[in-house]
Each structure stands twice: as structure tokens, then as C-alpha cells.
Amino acid sequence: MRLFDSMRQDGFEIPTGILSAKPSHEPDQKTASGCLSLDGRIAAQWVRQLCAEKVKSWGPAHLAVILASDDPASRIYVNHKIKAFKEAGMSSSLIEVPAGMVSESALVELICQLNDDPSVHGILVQLPLPHGISQTKIIESIRPDKDVDGFANHNVGLLHQGRLSRALLPCTPAGVVVLLGLYGVTLHGKHAVVVGRSAIVGKPMSGLLLHEDATVTIAHSKTPDLKKVCREADVLVVAAGKPELVNRDFVKSGAVVVDVGIHRTPDGKLCGDVHPDVTGVAGALTPVPGGVGPMTIAMLLLNTLRAAHLRQRGR
């Protein structure tokens, strides 16, 4: 089943191609070379607005966030998520466990309490966890119907079986499919190449693209001649975690390029896994920042709302 069809079944009507028809007052999103910028901020705002409307009629959807590390970046991510929930009229609570005091058993017990709390619809454990705590054990202790990150075995299985209407899907790859759909990028019959095979981005991304009827190639750090593989892509999704790994030599003329990577450069700026020179050859590119990142948070809202709604309907 395709993602937009499964969302429609759940009551989220997302029109495809709505952002490709640019209103006349919008600045031109094309570069001089004709490369379209797939603006994740605009697309995410669209999803967040949809969630804000749905929560009014569907009733409350509450996210519990567990922050168990001193990592400053994790705190920034958590604050962004909580702010987004507030802005959409959805509730969230932050449970902070000081990194020095956290143990695996205490975290599992906390998650069990949240699992049993009917006022909590989604549980998110901000990763990474402190050294010595098993990420797998913690994720697997979250009830599958509250696993709004979509990382636990149950939801991973549903995704790869194509049972999308029953799954909570990982926010970043699902956000990529929604972003492309809002811009009217056709995936059916296209050759999609995904660079990266991680459990949270690369693998679920490949599964979702397959369900959109793309022909999917997964490339990774052991792939010989990455450039050649990438140049065959109509749609190239790069999630390698390597700053500006992919440049114009990797991109076929007119290809759609999605840059999942995000890195802080020594001079404090942000960059992705894709070099900006691809705008000279690609047909469309997600910017960094302002591409995939905002979609990830928007999809967390949507997942939490879906989790609440699915439970209400006993699915």
C-alpha cells in the first residue's frame, strides 16, 4: 500500500502536487539553473496545519518525551518537538532523567508506566542514550501502538510487509515521501537510489520507496563505484552522514535529490550530505537547512495523532 493511500484511510487527506502550483506572491523557488528547491519548511507547515485542524475534532493526542542524556544537540531537538506540539494545539510532556543517574532498568520501568497511562498516546525516547544503555532494549519496551518513532520491531515489520495503515512509520523517511508527494514528484516506476542503510533512515526509506512502486537500489559504504550507482537514479536520497559526499558528478541531469544529512561545519554553518553544486544538474533538491529536517518534526505530530486516533478506533 502507498503512504498517501494509507493516510487517506486514517482520515489524513493529503493532496499530491499541491506545492508545485506556486502562488504568484511566493518567491521563485528555482535557481538560475532551473533546479527546484523542495522547501521542507512550507511542506512541514502544511502537515502541521493539518494536525492542528484534526486534533480539534479528534480530541487530545499527547506525546511523552524522555530525555536521558546531557547532549546539547538532543536538548535542542527535544525543545523543537515540544514547541511544535504546542503550536499545533497538541500536548506533550518532557521527562528528564539526569544522565548520571539513569539506568536501563529505571528507564524500562518509566516506559512501562507510560505504556499503561491512557492519557499518553505516544512515547519518544530521545537518542542517543548514555553509554552502557541498550538502545534496542529501551525501544523494544515501548508499546508498539505508542512507538511514534516507528523504530521497534513490530512497526519495522509492518512497514516492510507494506501494511502501512497499521504501522507507525519512522518520521524522517515518511517525511521524505510526504514532501515529494506534496511537490508532485512521481515515484511510481522511477529508479530510486538510497545512499545509506541505517535502521532509522536508509532501510525504512528504501521500504517506503518500494511501496510507492519505485525500483529501489540501496548503496552503502561498501558499494563499489558509488558515483556510477547514483548517476542511474531518477530520485536520489542521500543519508550517509558524510558532509557533501555527493556532488554534481553523482547526479543525472534532471534527477530529484533528497539530502537527509545534516552537519555543523567548523565555521558554525549547517551543511548536508550533498554538495550545493548539484543545483547545476539536478531537477530538484531539498535544501539544508529547511528540507528534510522540518518534515521529521511534522511527521512526529502526525504519528502521535494517528496513534491516538487508531487507539480510539480500536485498531
Point out which residues bind ligand NAD (CB under 6 A). 172, 195-198, 200-202, 219-221, 223, 226, 239-242, 245, 260-263, 292-293, 296
Question: Could you tell me the end-to-end alpha-carbon distance of the chain, in angstroms, rounded to an integer?
Answer: 17
Cα 234–chain centre separation? 21
231 membership: H or E segment, kind and range:
none
d(CA 145, CA 168) in angstroms, rounded, equals 7
Residues 218, 232: contact at Cβ < 8 Å? no
Cβ-based nearer residue to ligand NAD, 10 or 244: 244
Handedness of CA 136, 142, 143, 144 (dihedral sign): negative
Q: For residue 261, give the C-alpha cell.
A: 544529512
Q: For residue 230, give the C-alpha cell.
A: 547514483
Cβ-based nearer residue to ligand NAD, 64 or 292: 292
Cβ-based nearer residue to ligand NAD, 204 or 283: 204
Shortest Å distance, C-beta 315 to ligand NAD: 27
Exposure on the CB side of residue 305, measured as CA atoms within 13 A: 28
Residue nearest to ligand NAD (CB): 198
Shortest Å distance, C-beta 24 to ligand NAD: 30
d(CA 158, CA 69) in angstroms, rounded, equals 30
Shortest Å distance, C-beta 4 to ligand NAD: 20
d(CA 239, CA 288) in angstroms, rounded, equals 13
Handedness of CA 202, 181, 170, 163 (dihedral sign): negative
Cβ-based nearer residue to ligand NAD, 74 or 223: 223
Task: Kindly compute the dihedral angle of the four CA atoms of residues 296, 302, 303, 307, in this order, to the nearest 10 degrees.
Answer: 170
Shortest Å distance, C-beta 34 to ligand NAD: 25
Cβ-based nearer residue to ligand NAD, 143 or 242: 242
Shortest Å distance, C-beta 218 to ligand NAD: 9
Q: How many CB atoms lie within 10 A of CB 4?
A: 19
Shortest Å distance, C-beta 17 to ligand NAD: 23
Q: Return the active site residues.
A: 81, 126, 149
Cβ-based nearer residue to ligand NAD, 168 or 201: 201
Helix ranges, the chain (H): 3-9, 40-58, 72-87, 104-116, 135-140, 153-161, 171-182, 202-211, 226-230, 292-312
